[in-house]
């Protein structure tokens, strides 16, 4: 296994476990932490003997968000040139299932990386939230997109624009996370679920994850583009001309095609 400064990796049978290990900063993300967590999970994903991964944090925090000193040092030019935040997208692109085991704070980037995982198990101390608006920015690692898909526009808009926090119980009710478990049992339950998944036929698990993601993550933009193109095309039909003319002339339309 690779030697990471801020990650602990271990194997338990056919499970790969990655644990944030930056306790002095509540596991906050900087460039190195973001790269290490992504690379550690990707290494297990590429290992044929691993069937599922578990991502865990510490007792006080799963991941308290982005390191503000790091983010504050960024400007538009550097962020745009390096495509800041894009590297962690690879977590959502892993083929094998990833289970987030969350205890304590999972704010900002902590919520975002949780949402990149396939299953989220949280104990009763877990707190989620996207407070970036209070710092003059918005979440930059998929938070708005994934939260909207999880809870719908109205609730996502509220949490994105207020920065309010979400309890573990509230997150479960809204469908953000998979389940809440008693205090301190999050990792045990994540490992139990992971063992069940890893014990199932590998190709069926990969196909199951791919099929669910296909339904859940189909982008909005292509659908809107198709909608507009169909609308544009209908503007060239005889029935459209007749229908609008009849409306303007306050008469019943005489459609000739159907």
State whether 143 and 54 are in the same domain: yes
Neighbours of 200 (CB within 10 A): 13
State whether 172 and 242 are in the same domain: no
Q: Is residue 120 part of a domain?
A: yes
Q: What is the DSSP string of 112-143?
A: HHHHHSSEEEEETT-EEE-GGGGGTS---SSH
Q: How many domains does the chain have?
A: 2
Q: Is residue 2 part of a domain?
A: no
167, two tokens: 């309890």
The pLDDT tens digits for 4-27 are 999 999 999 999 999 999 999 999
State whether 153 and 255 are in the same domain: no
**What are the 10-residue block averages of pLDDT along the chain, 258 residues in total?**
90 97 96 96 97 97 91 82 88 96 96 97 98 87 90 96 97 97 98 96 88 77 63 72 82 72
SS3 assignment, position 51: coil
CATH of the domain at 175: 3.90.226.10
State whether 105 and 159 are in the same domain: yes
Nearest to 16 by CA among 61, 49, 38, 58: 49
State whether 206 and 228 are in the same domain: no
How does DSSP classify residue 75? -
> ∠ CA(218), CA(200), CA(57), 5° rounding?
70
CA dihedral sign, ordered 203, 208, 213, 214: positive
> What pLDDT was estimated at residue 73?
82
Using an 8 Å Cβ cutoff, are 15 and 52 in contact? yes
State whether 42 and 84 are in the same domain: yes
Distance CA 193, CA 83 (A): 34
Nearest to 19 by CA among 123, 99, 97: 99
Give the residue numbers annotated as catalytic, written as ranges. Answer: 66, 109, 112, 132
Distance CA 83, CA 78 (A): 8
Percent of the chain's residues with pLDDT above 70: 91
Residue 70 lies in domain: 7-217
Neighbours of 211 (CB within 10 A): 10
Q: Is residue 154 part of a domain?
A: yes
State whether 87 and 142 are in the same domain: yes
């Amino acid at each position: 296994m690779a030697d990471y400064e801020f990650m602990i990796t271990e194997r338990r049978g056919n499970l790969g476990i990655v644990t944030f290990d930056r306790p002095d900063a509540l596991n906050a993300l900087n460039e190195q932490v973001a790269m290490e967590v992504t690379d550690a999970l990707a290494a297990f994903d590429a290992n044929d003997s691993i069937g599922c991964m578990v991502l865990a944090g510490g007792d006080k925090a799963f991941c308290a968000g982005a390191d503000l000193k790091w983010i504050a040092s960024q400007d538009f030019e550097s962020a745009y040139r390096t495509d800041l935040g894009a590297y962690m997208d690879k977590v959502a692109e892993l083929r094998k299932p990833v289970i987030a085991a969350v205890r304590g704070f999972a704010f900002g980037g902590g919520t975002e990386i949780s949402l990149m995982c396939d299953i989220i198990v949280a104990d009763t101390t877990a707190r989620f939230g996207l407070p970036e608006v209070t710092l003059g920015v918005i979440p930059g690692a998929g938070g708005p997109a994934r939260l909207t898909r999880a809870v719908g526009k109205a609730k996502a808009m509220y949490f994105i624009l207020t920065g309010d926090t979400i309890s573990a119980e509230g997150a479960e009710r809204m469908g953000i996370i998979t389940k809440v478990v008693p205090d301190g049992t999050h990792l045990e339950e994540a490992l139990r679920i992971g063992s069940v998944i890893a014990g199932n036929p590998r190709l069926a698990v990969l196909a199951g994850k791919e099929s669910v993601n296909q339904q859940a993550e189909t982008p909005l933009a292509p659908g809107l583009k198709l909608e507009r193109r169909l609308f544009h095309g209908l503007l060239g039909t005889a029935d459209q001309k007749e229908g609008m003319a009849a409306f303007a002339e306050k008469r019943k339309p005489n459609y000739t095609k159907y």
